Amino acid sequence: MTIKRLLIPLFFLMGVALFSMIALQLTQALQVRDEAQRQISQVTVRAPVVALLDALYAERGATYLALMTDGPIDASLAEKTNGLIAQARSSLESSGLPSAPTGISTLNFLSHAVGIGRAASQEPAASTDKTQKASIWFDVMSLQIDRLGALRLQLLAGSHVVDQELAPNFQLRTYLLALLDHIESNEPLLAAELSNRPNVRQNILLEVDHNRTRSEVALELLDELLGSLNPALQGEVAQVMTSVRTDFRRREAELTGILRATGNASPAVISRWEQASAKARGEIATLQEHLGAFVRQRLDAHLRDATDSLFTWALALMLTVLALGTVSFVLLERVIRPVELMRDRMLRLAEGNVDIDIPSSRGLAEINAMMDSLRVFRINAVRRARLQKERLTLHARLSETYRLMRDDLKAAALVQVSLLPDSRQHNGVRLASFFRPSNYLAGDTFDFIPSPGGSVIMFQIDVAGHGTAAALVSVVSHNAVRKAIEQWDGVSLAGLCASINAAWPESLTYFTLLLVEIDPLAARGRMVQAGHPHPFLLTGDTLVRLGAGGLPIGVLPDADFDEVPFDFTSGTRFLALTDGVMDLETSEGEPFSEERLIDFLTAKRDMPTAALLAEIERALRDWHHQDTFKDDVTIVILEGDDKVAGTQA
Binding site for other proteins (CB under 8 A): 462, 464-466, 506, 509-510, 512, 529, 531-534, 549-552, 555-556, 559, 579, 583, 589, 591, 593-594, 631
Q: In angstroms, give the least distance from the CB of 554 to other proteins.
A: 8
Task: Name the residue nearer to other proteins (CB basis): 520 or 531.
Answer: 531
Report the alpha-carbon distance of residue 573 to residue 595 in Å, rounded. 19
| Nearest distance in Å: CB 579, other proteins | 7
Q: How far apart are CA 597 and CA 3, in angstroms?
A: 76
Smallest separation, CB 633 to other proteins (Å): 13
Alpha-carbon distance of 174 to 442, in angstroms, equals: 134
Among 282, 266, 276, residue whose Cα is nearest residue 194: 266
Cβ nearer to other proteins, comparing 41 with 578? 578
CA 330 distance to own-chain centroid:
18
Angle between helices 167-195 and 127-156 in degrees, nearest 10: 180
| CA–CA distance, 124 with 438 (Å, rounded to integer) | 159
Identity of the residue, 340 or 583, whose beta carbon is nearer to other proteins in the bound complex: 583
Of residues 373 and 626, the one with the C-beta less far from other proteins: 626
Identity of the residue, 313 or 561, whose beta carbon is nearer to other proteins in the bound complex: 561
Give min distance, CB of 504 to other proteins, in A: 12
Report the nearest approach of other proteins to the CB of residue 625 (Å).
Answer: 18
Q: Please say whether the beta carbons of 237 and 222 come within 8 A.
A: yes
Smallest gap from Cβ 463 to other proteins, in A, equals 8
- Of 346 and 559, nearer to other proteins (C-beta) is 559
Nearer to other proteins, 32 or 601 (CB): 601
Q: Which is nearer to other proteins, 359 or 589 (CB)?
A: 589
Half-sphere exposure of 54 (CA within 13 A, CB side): 17
* Shortest Å, Cβ 477 to other proteins: 13
Q: Which strands sit side by side in the sheet containing 456-463, from one edge to the other?
A: 444-450, 456-463, 511-519, 524-530, 563-567
Kindly tell me which of 52 and 514 has the beta carbon lying closer to other proteins.
Answer: 514
Establish how many alpha carbons lie within 13 A of residue 156's alpha carbon, considering only the half-sphere containing its beta carbon. 16
CB nearer to other proteins: give 103 or 550. Answer: 550
CA distances in angstroms from 317 to 11, 19, 357, 492, 579, listed in the order given: 16, 7, 41, 123, 99
Task: Indicate the burial class of 269 (C-beta count within 10 angstroms; 0-12, 13-18, 19 or more).
Answer: middle
CA dihedral 92, 96, 99, 105 (to 10 degrees): 40
- Burial (CB count <10 Å: 0-12, 13-18, 19+), residue 106: buried
Could you tell me the smallest distance in angstroms from the CB atom of residue 465 to other proteins?
5
CB of 349 to other proteins, least distance (A): 43
The alpha-helical segments, DSSP class H, found in 591-639 are 594-604, 609-624
> Whose Cβ is closer to other proteins: residue 309's or residue 593's?
593
| CB-based contact 454:427 (threshold 8 Å) | yes
Cα dist from 434 to 224, 586, 613, 615, 633, whole Å? 138, 20, 7, 11, 8
Q: What minimum distance in Å lies between the beta carbon of 428 and other proteins?
A: 30
Q: How far apart are CB 473 and other proteins at their closest, in Å? A: 11
CB neighbour class for 160 (10 Å; exposed up to 12, middle 13-18, buried from 19):
exposed
Amino acid present at 494: A
